[in-house]
Chain A
């Protein structure tokens, strides 16, 4: 029933309850259904727009600038060690 939601939630790293999965499956179906009308627009020769106002790539000079201090960067973290953020096991 909720295989599709399971797959999407896994990619999104989002733990969902059984109840949430049920209504999200229903919502996803209804929302995607309402989006179908996009198929009616002919976009064969149209390029996608990622940015609404054209921006140029800008680079800055390669010199060190002031940033946040280590202490400030770590201030909001509960788990730190030796000046690093601490997280769960990755391997």
Chain B
């Protein structure tokens, strides 16, 4: 049987009608995955043995009916190594599944492996991974984006049905989606449980799907979202069928164009995004010019809040209980400091230092509290905009996927600046979706659609209509 070009919905139909031999399918799937892995390094772990056991008990009454799922390495998977891209968690095998993974398995998803990412999500290009750098399958000299880089790259590279589960703190789903030319859906903060996520920044982390089509991401979101008593910040809302927002027209929908999101971006990227917006107008949407005056402050506010939270979250990695553990010697402070110095990577150290500094006595008001107040202003700005429009449309990233040789030359400040367009919506906890909208120098350009809290339906509706042009 021919599986290449098979869509997710074709696979589900074939599985339902028993027209697919799962053993044959998975043997070809892993053959293909190994080939891709050799070329592009999208995985920390390929969990072939675990998958082979699970395909024997696929329940055909489930929604996914045996569909392959890849999982970002910072999401705990029972019995499969979960490192979050860090040496300090090497060989950590979670004894439990994160809630979204449990949901995915319950609906017949088969975990096929754990995708490469920047250590703990600290990066924009997936170059800060302790397990090799994932390469962009469109041009291996270029980055997949970060931090869910392996997820983005593999979703693009695999020519068989598959959905990736990624995670975003400041843009880590949208950026690789844009750079690899796939769809990435970041839900409202709290829509998907964070239980079992190896956290970066508690008030920002969001687990979300990445796939080849808008409908696939909508299907996966329907499965992984919903209230979870195990996550106190999980929203008290049941899941819904998000695929019902696809195949709809968008006549009369109001689309806001935030002018600040078109400052200092690559001119060809701007051209492609503006032409995508014109196509939305041709479909009957109305565009409205919007001002988000706090845009330039989102970047510093994000980096302060995220690193402060990260510096406390990473305190638990102390060379005891799980992950990297050395011979226990010396006083506990000496032992902890030595283990952390040895196993944490450069960017993790930079962010721990920055975050610790920004919450120290004497600096807390100036940096951390100030950033939290600016965050309030940013949310107010978005709320005002959503009084006037249904969704906002902007470029996802200011550039196309850069080459590794150019990334090497960037200073930390210049690297952080690449997140300018994604950190604002991530700070506000609003849902967003990145979809491909053309190419520049043969590399994909991402159109970013942002919605108000809990209005995933609207961004799915617009994205799906655009995709179908």
Q: Which residues of A contact B (CB under 8 A)?
A: 4-5, 8-17, 20, 24, 27-28, 30-32, 34-35, 37-41, 43, 46-53, 55-58, 60, 68, 72-73, 75-79, 85-90
Cβ-neighbour of A14 out of B325, B341, B453 (below 8 A): B341
0 or 1 for each of B80-111: is its CB under 8 Å from A? (1 = yes): 00000000000111011000000000000000
Given contacts A8-B357, A31-B303, contact A14 B374 (CB under 8 A): no
**B190 in contact (CB, < 8 A):** yes
Given contacts A31-B413, A38-B371, A48-B369, contact A88 B335 (CB under 8 A): yes
Given contacts A47-B373, A52-B203, A88-B330, contact A38 B300 (CB under 8 A): yes
0 or 1 for each of B228-260: is its CB under 8 Å from A? (1 = yes): 010011011000000000000000000000000
Q: Are B375 and A49 in contact (CB under 8 A)?
A: yes
**B416 in contact (CB, < 8 A):** yes
23 of the cross-chain contacts (CB-CB < 8 Å) are: A8-B353, A13-B336, A13-B337, A16-B349, A24-B353, A28-B357, A32-B367, A34-B413, A37-B297, A38-B304, A38-B370, A39-B370, A46-B373, A47-B373, A49-B372, A49-B373, A52-B379, A52-B428, A52-B430, A55-B235, A77-B320, A78-B325, A87-B335
**B137 in contact (CB, < 8 A):** no
How close is A63's CB to chain B, nearest CB, in angstroms? 13
Contacts of A20 in B (CB 8 A): 346, 349
**B350 in contact (CB, < 8 A):** yes
Given contacts A14-B353, A75-B93, A79-B320, contact A51 B233 (CB under 8 A): yes
Please classify the interface of chain A as helix (H, G, I), strand (E, B), loop, or mixed, using the class held by over half of its residues. loop
How far apart sit A57 and B163, CA to CA, in the bound complex (Å)? Answer: 34
Most A CB contacts (10 A, CB to CB) among B334, B369, B374 go to: B374
How close is B369's CB to chain A, nearest CB, in angstroms? 6
**B59 in contact (CB, < 8 A):** no
**B321 in contact (CB, < 8 A):** yes
List residues 291-343 of chain B with CB under 8 A from any CB of chain A. Answer: 294, 296-297, 300-301, 303-304, 311, 315, 318, 320-323, 325, 328-338, 340-342
How far apart sit A39 and B374, CA to CA, in the bound complex (Å)? Answer: 10
Q: Are A76 and B93 in contact (CB under 8 A)?
A: yes
Q: Are A24 and B350 in contact (CB under 8 A)?
A: yes
